[in-house]
Chain A
Amino acid sequence: MMRKGVEAVLLLSLLFFTSHAKATRFSPPGKPALTRCRSPEKETFTCWWEPGSDGGLPTTYALYYRKENSETVYECPDYHTAGENSCFFNKNDTSIWVNYNITVVATNALGSTFSDPVDIDVVYIVKPNPPEKVTVSVMEDKGWPFLRVSWEPPHKADTRSGWITLIYELRVKLEGEDEWEMHLAGQQKMFNIFSLRSGGTYHVQVRCKPDHGFWSEWSSTSYIKVPDYFHREKSVWILITVFSAFIFLILTWLLHMNSHSLKHCILPPVPGPKIKGFDKQLLKDGKSEDVFSALVVSDFPPTTSSNYEDLLVEYLEVYIPEEQELTLEESKDLHDSCLKSEGSTSDNDSGRGSCDSHTLLMDKGEAKEGERQTDQEESQTEAQRQQKDWDEEELTYTHEDMVSPDMSSGRVKTWPSVFSPLPQYTLSPLVQRSSLEMAKQHCLSDSMFPPSSTSSYLIQPGNSTKEALGPSHWEFSLSNKQPQLLHPKTQAHSDINISSIGHKQTPVSLQSPALRRTEYVEVQRVNEEDMVLLQPIVCGEGCPQMRQAEDYSKVRGVDSDNRLLLQREVAKEEVDMCPYEDQEADGATESCYTSSDINTNQKPPACSYTATPVQDNRTLPASGYVDTATMFTLPTY
């Protein structure tokens, strides 16, 4: 019946319009189109259409639908509930799992136009309403805030019976941001959001969707402000800072209290020199004269120039054991002892500083030697000189406690043992000389003789030769015209060119031990070139005879390292005073010489005990000493 009615209307309208054919601007309406149909709860649905052009005339729209099983055409029951251009199907008119064939007709005076039919099934067009009663609250989880969002399904959707199953989704963003953070909540109606920013304001929205349908619109935004939790964190940090400051103060105080012991641990005090008789308190008081007066030997340094000679006590004792090359070993030992004293680790106290300076002096002496280019590089002269240096040095220090005679080793720890008898003597030149002698002798002989004999030996000649040796020594020293003589040290250096100073009497006394043999050379004169000419002391039968072999008394030159290079000398020297040489058939060897052709810097060449011939030509070792031990063969007497 409805259809007939529609047809009637159409015919009438056509007649009406055709009778008024003058309507040129008017036209039948345009074709409407069904835009969409939606069901919010799977119980009702609404269809909307888009009208076409109206053709200039008032147009009416009608929606007609037909269900799948029947041919009956129905018209939309409700055009108004859903608004303009809509058709609302209520519960009674809605059937599910049934195809609807819907058509919209636009009608105006000139005609009507049908839209394209649309087939829909209500179950496929479900789009629920947004979730309702969205609540957001700030909650706390172990001091950290989080948002709790809860909502309810749209009141129309019947989820209780299971007719509609909804799944939810929510989105969150901070105020001012553009990006939303999406969260799928599934079927639950509550959701927690963590990792919030303190003090921020959040926007929250929720929407839902049926299991097979369309997403709903977003719910209205809910605003929530997260309170500031910064203060709580801050208080924790403040506590931590206070505690750490407190602990730091305690540690500082402890450190301060124990600063001394800590200093001792970390930086142990460097031992300083201790000098017998040196009063620190006097020094602090500022009276330097008193301080030094305690140390200074009254005669040392000698204030009068006439006493220079006193310092130049030099005599060389050559001990030639029967089947050994004593000189070699002496020099060697001296050498070694000199070196040894450098490296000897004394178990005395810090007084060893003098030992170090001792070696320094020795080094100086070596350098100076090299410069001189004397031919006296025989080690014994050097040894003598150095010994003299040592002696001088040691006199400045007067240590008693330096006695650490390491006699057992057989090596010469010269200077401690040298000074062991020192306290017995007063500070007199003679004593010095004797001590020097002793030192020398000790140095020389120590390695060769058992300690016991050595010690005894030491004292003996010293005493006996005290007087006797004196003048000979001093004579020697007098001849030296060097300005350097003023300086005792230098004097010692310069004068040490004298290799050996002999005394007639000394051999006698020195020879008191059966094992010893010494040769003595005395100074004859100093020539114009400041060379000391030595004269061997004529000795009797006791004098050992030297075997002539080769000698290395001639200095070839000085190499770059300030080493004196000796060369084998075959020709007889100018000055040759060694008595035993005369005895030798071979006149090639000299014991002491200073060849005139040897240029020296003013230092009289030292001739030492070269009674033993030189065997091979050797360069000086790096220390500057001539290792005569290897150079000389032992003479046999």
Chain B
Amino acid sequence: MEAKWTKRMKKRTRKRSDDQQIRSKRKAMAHRRTSGSKLLMTVLYMVASCSAVPISDLLDRASQGSDKLHSLSTTLTQVLDSHFPPIGRVITPRPSTCHTSSLHTPNDKAQALQVSESDLLSLARSLLAAWVDPLVVLSASVNTLPHPAQSSISNKIQELQQHSKSLGDGLDIISGKMGPAAQAISTLPYRGGNDIGQDKISKLINFHFLMSCFRRDSHKIDSFLKVLRCRAAKMQPEMC
């Protein structure tokens, strides 16, 4: 696996110069979008035109996107915490009840560093894919969320969706470069229904719970991608 990996990367490095020109052209078209999607769209176009983009750059872009995603979710969680009913602490569901908890992810560094790149990418993609539906539900129910910062939350949810989508697209491209093992995605269906609760308390609590789950999962994605980035950038130790 390692040898294949390095061989592939050497091939791509050779054709790097050709990509520079095309890359600059493509960049102009992505101004409309947000930064995260912009990056990934650029990645898409680059990859579509010529597939010699080094994977380390792709992973670097992806990890930047995941970092942004996690930052957004952290902010959102803190906003929700500011107006959280005290009783929620008591009756909040346990994190183990997140719908993504069934996915087996490494629990410490030793375990994480032993996971292969394809598996890491697969995990990241699975987690990301698992949150597409819940985010839709959340964005739908934020309008009725009894929270003082409801509009801010609504905006952030929108951003989350966009970032998540662009990151997912980018990861798909990366997985395409990494071989068939990376293509496998574990499905983690969301079974929470279409709404997050009927009354105010449950809405708040469920919303908060979902966001906490998302925050952790986004952190996992970010961590995995950064580990992958460091592994791919053997020639550039300053990246890690």
Query: Do A212 and B74 form a contact, CB below 8 Å, given A97-B105, A97-B216, A121-B216?
Result: yes
Q: Which of A126-169 contact B (CB under 8 A)?
A: 158-163, 165
Q: Which of A148-203 contact B (CB under 8 A)?
A: 158-163, 165, 187-189
Asked if B229 lies at the interface with its beta carbon under 8 angstroms from chain A, I say yes
Query: Do A187 and B107 form a contact, CB below 8 Å, given A97-B219, A161-B227?
Result: no
- Interface size in chain B (residues, C-beta < 8 A): 29
Q: A163, B227: Cβ atoms under 8 Å?
A: yes
Q: In the complex, A68→B219 CA distance in Å?
A: 18
Q: B113, A161: Cβ atoms under 8 Å?
A: yes
Asked if B19 lies at the interface with its beta carbon under 8 angstroms from chain A, I say no
Q: A160, B230: Cβ atoms under 8 Å?
A: yes
Q: In the complex, A551→B95 CA distance in Å?
A: 139
Asked if B163 lies at the interface with its beta carbon under 8 angstroms from chain A, I say no
Report chain B residues within 8 Å CB of A43. Answer: 108-109
Among A91, A95, A162, A212, point to the contact of B240 (Cβ < 8 A). A162
Among B94, B108, B238, point to the contact of A187 (Cβ < 8 A). B238
Report chain B residues within 8 Å CB of A113. Answer: none
Q: A163, B109: Cβ atoms under 8 Å?
A: yes
Q: B240, A159: Cβ atoms under 8 Å?
A: yes
Task: Tell which of B96, B216, B223, B238 has the most Cβ of chain A within 10 Å.
Answer: B223
Q: In the complex, A162→B226 CA distance in Å?
A: 6
Query: Do A96 and B226 form a contact, CB below 8 Å, given A160-B240, A161-B113, A212-B71?
Result: no
Among residues of B, the one whose C-beta sits closest to the C-beta of A95 is B107
Report chain A residues within 8 Å CB of B222. Answer: 211-212
Asked if B22 lies at the interface with its beta carbon under 8 angstroms from chain A, I say no
Q: How many A-B residue pairs have CB under 8 A?
A: 66
Q: B108, A94: Cβ atoms under 8 Å?
A: yes
Q: A97, B107: Cβ atoms under 8 Å?
A: yes
Report chain B residues within 8 Å CB of A68. Answer: 94-96
Report chain B residues within 8 Å CB of A98. Answer: 107
Binary flags per residue of B93-123, CB closer than 8 Å to A gives 1, else 0: 0111000000001011110110000000000
Q: Which of A27-76 contact B (CB under 8 A)?
A: 42-43, 68-69
Q: State which size class the interface on A falls in.
A: 20 to 34
Among B107, B219, B230, point to the contact of A212 (Cβ < 8 A). B219
Binary flags per residue of A83-97, CB closer than 8 Å to B gives 1, else 0: 000000001001111
Among residues of B, the one whose C-beta sits closest to the C-beta of A123 is B219
Q: A162, B230: Cβ atoms under 8 Å?
A: yes
Q: Which of B101-151 contact A (CB under 8 A)?
A: 105, 107-110, 112-113
Q: B16 CB to closest chain A CB, in angstroms?
A: 22
Asked if A482 lies at the interface with its beta carbon under 8 angstroms from chain B, I say no
Asked if A396 lies at the interface with its beta carbon under 8 angstroms from chain B, I say no
Binary flags per residue of A240-268, CB closer than 8 Å to B gives 1, else 0: 00000000000000000000000000000
B-side binding surface: helix, strand, loop or mixed? helix
Among residues of B, the one whose C-beta sits closest to the C-beta of A166 is B240
Q: B107, A158: Cβ atoms under 8 Å?
A: no
Q: Which of B57-111 contact A (CB under 8 A)?
A: 67, 70-71, 74, 94-96, 105, 107-110
Among residues of B, the one whose C-beta sits closest to the C-beta of A117 is B89
Asked if B239 lies at the interface with its beta carbon under 8 angstroms from chain A, I say yes
Q: B240, A161: Cβ atoms under 8 Å?
A: yes
Report chain A residues within 8 Å CB of B219. Answer: 97, 123-124, 212
Q: B70 CB to closest chain A CB, in angstroms?
A: 6
Query: Do A95 and B108 form a contact, CB below 8 Å, given A162-B226, A212-B70?
Result: yes
Report chain B residues within 8 Å CB of A187. Answer: 238-239
Asked if B231 lies at the interface with its beta carbon under 8 angstroms from chain A, I say yes
Q: In the complex, A161→B74 CA distance in Å?
A: 24
Q: B238, A161: Cβ atoms under 8 Å?
A: no
Asked if B208 lies at the interface with its beta carbon under 8 angstroms from chain A, I say no
Asked if A99 lies at the interface with its beta carbon under 8 angstroms from chain B, I say yes
Asked if B203 lies at the interface with its beta carbon under 8 angstroms from chain A, I say no
Q: In the complex, A123→B94 CA distance in Å?
A: 17
Q: In the complex, A189→B70 CA distance in Å?
A: 25
Among residues of B, the one whose C-beta sits closest to the C-beta of A162 is B230
Report chain A residues within 8 Å CB of B110. Answer: 91
Among residues of B, the one whose C-beta sits closest to the C-beta of A116 is B89
Among B95, B228, B240, point to the contact of A165 (Cβ < 8 A). B240
Among residues of A, the one whose C-beta sits closest to the C-beta of B225 is A162
Q: B238, A162: Cβ atoms under 8 Å?
A: no
Report chain B residues within 8 Å CB of A97. Answer: 105, 107, 216, 219-220
Q: In the complex, A69→B231 CA distance in Å?
A: 31
A-B CB proximity, top 10 nearest: A162-B230, A162-B227, A95-B107, A162-B226, A162-B240, A69-B96, A99-B95, A68-B96, A163-B109, A43-B109
| A interface residues (Cβ-Cβ under 8 A, vs B) | 42-43, 68-69, 91, 94-99, 121, 123-124, 158-163, 165, 187-189, 211-212
| B interface residues (Cβ-Cβ under 8 A, vs A) | 67, 70-71, 74, 94-96, 105, 107-110, 112-113, 216, 219-220, 222-223, 226-231, 237-240
> Contacts A162-B228, A162-B240, A189-B238 given; 17 further ones with Cβ under 8 A?
A42-B109, A43-B109, A94-B108, A96-B107, A96-B108, A97-B105, A97-B216, A97-B220, A123-B216, A160-B230, A161-B109, A161-B231, A163-B109, A165-B226, A165-B240, A211-B67, A211-B222
A–B Cβ pairs within 8 angstroms, 6 of them: A91-B110, A94-B108, A97-B220, A160-B237, A161-B113, A212-B222
